[in-house]
């Protein structure tokens, strides 16, 4: 099972930058995207059909905002939109897909960068997600949780930890949530494979040179529960794929 997680920062924009051509290179069996900023009916979704991909869209009620989608070669046994929390579901933040005994969660975590109100909601959302996952894990122990977490976990995951210690996405409370999340039986798949610094998945668009200089943050993850730790074959980040201010992250799992 090959999985990509990718915040496309507007799927229509990504398509104009070559997203479909990249999908034609067969980067994965399952493509999870976040921040679609579109409803399915407002996108040329036949492009995905022509690639032989099933597609599942969960868009925000507000047009041009948030939203997640899953494109996959194999039809899931179950698809569930949302996690049952009203505001999260109104913002189109979570899709669940079951493939055999594996459950995949594609999630777009809120950002707190626009102010205190959204930062407060981010903490609420993180707690709600953890409750949702803990319940789900009892029924479905083999979980994959992928998406834009909007959190750089450790100093190794951000180019300037000292300068960003008061920045949303690297606040002590957010990093403590990641500690708690991983302590509850989740594994950072990328760090299982790669312990090296300077591996990032997002670069600020305010200063175009920062991507060239690789001054980024690692805020996109494909994490798995402990029963899948031994199934990890490979995990990578693809910084040279450039349809967005993020880049794709990749996980390959042995499933038999």
Residues marked active site are found at 148
Q: In angstroms, rounded to a whole number, what is the distance separating the alpha carbons of residues 26 and 5?
A: 14
CB 199 within 8 A of CB 218: yes
Query: Nearest CA to 249 among 51, 106, 66, 74?
Result: 106
Contacts of 243 (CB under 8 A, 6+ apart): 8, 13, 14, 17, 18, 19, 22
Query: Nearest CA to 235 among 207, 202, 193?
Result: 193
CB 2 within 8 A of CB 256: no
The DSSP symbol for 109 reads P
């Amino acid at each position: 099972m090959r999985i990509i997680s990718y915040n496309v920062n507007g799927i229509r924009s990504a398509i104009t930058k070559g997203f479909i051509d990249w999908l034609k290179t067969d980067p994965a069996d399952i493509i999870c995207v976040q921040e679609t900023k579109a409803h399915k009916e407002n996108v040329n979704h036949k492009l995905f059909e022509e690639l032989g991909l099933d597609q599942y869209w969960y868009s925000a009620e507000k047009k041009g905002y948030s939203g997640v989608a899953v494109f996959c070669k194999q039809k899931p046994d179950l698809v569930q939109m949302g996690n049952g929390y009203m505001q999260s579901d109104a913002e189109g933040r979570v899709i669940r897909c079951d493939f055999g005994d594996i459950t995949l969660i594609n999630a777009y975590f809120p950002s707190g960068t626009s102010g205190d109100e959204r930062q407060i909601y981010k903490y609420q959302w993180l707690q709600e997600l953890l409750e949702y996952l803990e319940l789900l894990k009892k029924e479905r122990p083999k979980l994959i949780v992928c998406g834009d977490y909007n959190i750089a976990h450790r100093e190794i995951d951000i180019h300037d930890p000292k300068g960003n210690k008061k920045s949303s996405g690297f606040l002590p409370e957010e990093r403590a949530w990641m500690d708690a999340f991983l302590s509850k039986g989740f594994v950072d798949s990328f760090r299982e494979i790669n312990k090296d610094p300077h591996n990032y998945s997002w670069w600020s668009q305010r200063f175009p040179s920062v991507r060239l200089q690789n001054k980024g943050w690692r805020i996109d993850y494909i994490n798995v529960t402990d029963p899948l730790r031994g199934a990890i074959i490979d995990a990578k980040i693809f910084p040279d794929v450039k349809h967005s201010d993020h880049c794709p992250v990749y996980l390959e799992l042995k499933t038999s």
